[in-house]
Structures are given as C-alpha cells and as structure tokens.
Amino acid sequence: METRKALGELLAHQKRIDRLAAAGGILFWDEQVNLPPGSAEFRAEQNAHFSELLHRESTLPEVGRWLDALEAGQDALSEDECVIVKDARREYDREVKLPGEFVARRSKARSESFHAWVEARRNNDFASFAPHLQKALDFARQEAEYQGAEDPYDFFVDVYDPGMSTAVIDPLFAELREGLKPILETILAAEDTIPPDLFRGFPVDGQEAFLREVVTAFGFDFNVGRLDRAVHPFCGGHPLDTRMTTRYDPDNPLDSLSSAMHETGHALYEQGLPAEHPGTALSRAAGMAAHESQSRIWENQVGRGRPFWKHWEPRYRAFFKEQLAGVDSDQLYRAVNRVAITPIRVDADEVTYNLHIILRYGLERDLFAARVAIADLPEAWNERSRDLLGYTPESDAEGCLQDVHWCEGMFGYFPSYTLGNLLGAQFWYAAKDALPDLEADFGRGDYKRLLGWLRENVHSAARRYDANGLARRVTGNQLGTEALLRYLRERYLPLYSA
C-alpha cells in the first residue's frame, strides 16, 4: 500500500476513535455526575458493550495493514509522522492482544466494583469489597499475561507513563522520602497556630461563583467546557468538550477551591493540546506524570502562593465577609498552606502527599508480586501508614478503602502523582527563569504569561516526548527530586520555623 494513502487512512481512523472515545468520556462523566441511583447496573452493561465496540473499532485488521505499510515506508515520513506511527503501533499492538469479550467483562466488572467500593467505604466494610479487588487484580494480571509482559506491574506503569518503570521510580522515591524527612520534622516540631475550625458555613453557591472566577482567570475555556459537582473531583471529556467536576463542603471551602484549581490544570493541558491530528500522539498528553505536573502547578505553585492571594483575597472576602471576619490575612495564607498528618490522601498537604503515594506504590508492587494477599491488605496498609506517616488509620474507610483507583483496576497510576509533583516543580523553576518577575503577574490576577509558556513548552509538545524526555527538553535536567524539595523548603520552612 502506498505510504501517503496509508497515513491518510490511519489519521482518519485515529480521529474516528478519538470521537468515539470522547463519547465514552461523556458516558463516564454522566455516570459520575447524573446517574440515577437505581441505574448503575444498567450503565455497567452499556459501558461493557460500548468498550467492546470501541475495542473492535480500534483493532480492525486494516489498521494493522496501514501500520505495516507505514513502517515499511518510514523513509518517506516526517519526524512528526513517525511519532504518530510509533504511538499508534504501541496502542494497536496492546489492544489487539486483548480479546473483545475480555474487554467487555473487565468493563462490567469495573463498574460493579466501583459501586461495591462506594458501599464498602460508606460502611467501612473491607470484606464486602475484597472479592471485587481480587477480581480487579486478576483482570490486571490476565491483561499483563495477554501482553506477554515481563513484569506485570511495570507494564501498567508504562501504560500511564510511556517509558516509565520501577527501575526509574525506586531511586527517585527513596531519595524523595529521605529529602522530605528533615522538612517534615521541622514542620511537625513547630506549633500549629491554625485553629481547626477556622472556616465554617461558606455557602456552596458563593464558593462556586468564586472559583468560577478563578478558573476563568486561569484560562479555562467555558465555551468548550463545563464545571459541575460530583462526589469525586475529576477532569474528563475532551479538549473540545471538557468536563471538570469538584465538590463543595460549607465547612471546608479551601478543599473545593484547590480541587477546582487542580482540575483546571488538567483541563488547561487538554485544551492546550494541538487539535490538528486528533487521536494521534501529536494531540495526546505525554502521559499522566506530565498531566499531574500541570494540575499541581496551578493548584500548588500558583494557587498556594502569596501573589495569588494578594489578588484574590479581597474578592474572597467580598464573597464571604461574615465567615472571614475573624480571619486575618496571615491566618488565611497559613490555612491555605497548612501542613499536618492526615489519613486521607486527597486531603493531604503538599509535603505529606508524596508519602501517601509512596505507601500505595509499595503496596501495589506487593499485591502484584503476591507478597501481600488481598485479605491482608488492611493490616499491610496500616503498618505502612505507621511507618511513613506515623499514623494508624482508625478504620479501613480512612485506610485502604479510601481511594477509587484500585476498584477500577487502575494499578500503576499512583506513582504518576508524585512524578507529576517532581516534574511540576522542575517546570515551575524553568518558567520562573524564563519569565522575569512572573509572580508579579499573579498579583494582578494575570496568568497569561505562565499559560503561554506552558502551552509553548509542554502542551504543544503533546506526546512527542516521555516524562523524562520532556524534563530534559524543557528544563535541561532529568526528572529528579531537587526542584520539588527546594520548592517545599522555600514555601513551607518560613511558615513553620520558630
């Protein structure tokens, strides 16, 4: 087959798959945001059939033939076209090894497992969830076997972050843990001056109105996106129809705000990806570490900084005059940056957050290696929590039942969060170096230079580079712990020193 013709066919196919996958994204969003309580099983069936259909479309035999032709005619392809072909080959080869009925069964099991997990967490009942978790692990092992993966866990790490592996992560996480120790010790030795019930009774409508102003200022495009309420904040949909969610608690307004800024970081990345060749490596995110780097920069480096609050504090006070009457500016800033041991990862501050990830990373590996059995997970979790955080969960609901990931078969995803923190801090210093007096912009509520820099350096690169490649290209350095540790020291030690 003629190379240009094969490329044309492949591009049309990738675009089609992109559109269909986006339809699946709307179904997922709808399930999280709108699904009537009694419709869960029905939706699980829909998801299963839809997954199977999408799988069949992705693995049509002609796709393999186009890829063969393109690989044979590689000399006639541009560098970017080779990137497209290489990534399409990777995805096709993985999909084609999975039987359609396996994909359908797995999809159904995931939906069931999700709803079982919601129940189990609500009732603090690990035993009822254990069979579902076992099934999720079995599905993952079976998938790795279909793939002929040498190391099943490494296979999944690579799914979320192409090129990443435990061999890269292990030393990074070990170094990070060591580096965090003295920072955390200093912080915990200092007196926590923030009263625990500082924020009470923030009307949800006001919270939403305020954070819509913030995410609009960051650059989220509401013309092709939405922000809704869901139990679990996430950013889904597609660059051309982006669906963010957050949740609101009248007594914990900073949580909604930082969740929304976090999801906006994801959304800005998606909305900043080049749209020219949808579904190909030229319009897909580099990987989940890169994705999390974007969410973290907006949530943390921007959203927890003094310049951000310099601009937004008056507006926040305008929305919540009464509620903030007894809170001075310094207290507000300290509350935003409060560090404390907490059992729940999603509530964790920037410093302890990575310890939560290291805990899960170790456990995932042990589950895959059968060093920890499902039945022993609660105890193994609690033991690691003592070791890493010095805290024993009071229940499985605040222990091994707290996260949604495993119930949906997302093993190997957790490391991306910390890799994203590393990468985000590296990007942050690179941006500050490149953009003189960057944070002064934030003091005026202006994020255009930062967003422009991220678009130019990170978003527009799409999937051309892996996490490490992106780090080298944008910052001149490998992925490492230095930038994050520097950032944490600069941000937190002044707040917690005597």
What are the residue numbers of the active site? 263
Is the dihedral angle over the CA atoms 345, 348, 351, 352 positive or is it negative?
Answer: negative
CB of 12 to a copy of itself, least distance (A): 11
* 39 interacts with a copy of itself by CB under 8 A: yes
Which residues, in sequence order, are bridge partners of residue 235? 244
Residue 486 CB neighbours (<10 A)? 15
Q: Which residue in 240, 404, 435, 495 binds a copy of itself (CB under 8 A)? A: 240
Q: Which of 241, 347, 408, 441 binds a copy of itself (CB under 8 A)?
A: 241
Closest among 324, 379, 392, 388 to 354, alpha carbons compared:
388
Asked if 266 interacts with a copy of itself (CB under 8 A), we say: no
Half-sphere exposure of 52 (CA within 13 A, CB side): 14
The size of the chain, in residues, is 498
Q: How far is the CB of 43 from a copy of itself (least distance, A)?
A: 7
- Contact flag: residue 28 with a copy of itself (CB under 8 A): no
Is position 19 an interface residue for a copy of itself (rule: CB under 8 A)?
yes
Smallest CA-to-CA distance from 293 within 397, 161, 102, 180 is with 161
Do 279 and 18 contact (CB within 8 A), yes or no?
A: yes
194 lines the binding site for a copy of itself (CB under 8 A): no
Would the CA dihedral through 388, 393, 397, 398 be positive or negative?
negative
Under the binding rule (CB under 8 A), the answer on residue 204 touching a copy of itself is: no
Complete DSSP assignment for 395-449:
SSTTTTTS-STGGGT-TT-HHHHHHHHHHHHHHHHHHHHHSTTHHHHHHTT--HH
For the CB of residue 270, give the shortest distance to a copy of itself in the complex, in Å: 13
208 lies in the site for a copy of itself, by CB under 8 A: no
Would you say 24 or 163 has its CB closer to a copy of itself? Answer: 24
Q: Binder to a copy of itself among 2, 4, 30, 76 (CB under 8 A)?
A: 30
* Residues 74 and 82 sit within 8 Å (Cβ to Cβ): yes
392 in contact with a copy of itself (CB under 8 A):
no
Interaction of residue 446 with a copy of itself, rule CB under 8 A: no
Cα–Cα distances (Å) from 123 to 71, 90, 113, 114, 381, in that order, read 54, 41, 15, 14, 18
Residue 54 Cβ, how far from a copy of itself at the closest point, in Å?
9
Q: State the burial class of residue 53 (Cβ atoms within 10 Å of its Cβ: 0-12, 13-18, 19+).
A: middle
Closest CB 228 distance from a copy of itself, rounded Å:
8
Total interface residues for a copy of itself by CB under 8 A: 32
Q: Which stretch binds a copy of itself (CB under 8 A): 30-38, 132-140, 342-350, 463-471?
A: 30-38
- 274: which DSSP letter? -
Q: Interface residues for a copy of itself in 218-237 (CB under 8 A)?
A: 221-226
Q: Which is nearer to a copy of itself, 13 or 291 (CB)?
A: 13
In terms of CB distance, is 36 or 436 closer to a copy of itself? 36
Q: Does 148 bind a copy of itself (CB under 8 A)?
A: no
46 binds a copy of itself (CB under 8 A): yes
Member of 2, 34, 124, 371 binding a copy of itself (CB under 8 A): 34
- Per CB under 8 A, does 330 bind a copy of itself? no
Q: Specify whether the backbone of 153 is left (phi greater than 0), alpha (psi in -120 to 50) or beta.
A: alpha
As given in the structure block, the two tokens for residue 118 are: 């919601």
First to last CA, the chain: 72
**Which positions from 47 through 86 interact with a copy of itself, judged by CB under 8 A?**
49-50, 53, 57
Handedness of CA 464, 467, 469, 472 (dihedral sign): positive
- CB 286, CB 22: distance < 8 Å: no
Q: How far is the CB of 111 from a copy of itself (least distance, A)?
A: 12
Residues that bind a copy of itself (CB under 8 A): 16, 19-20, 22-23, 26-27, 30, 34-39, 42-43, 45-46, 49-50, 53, 57, 221-226, 238, 240-242
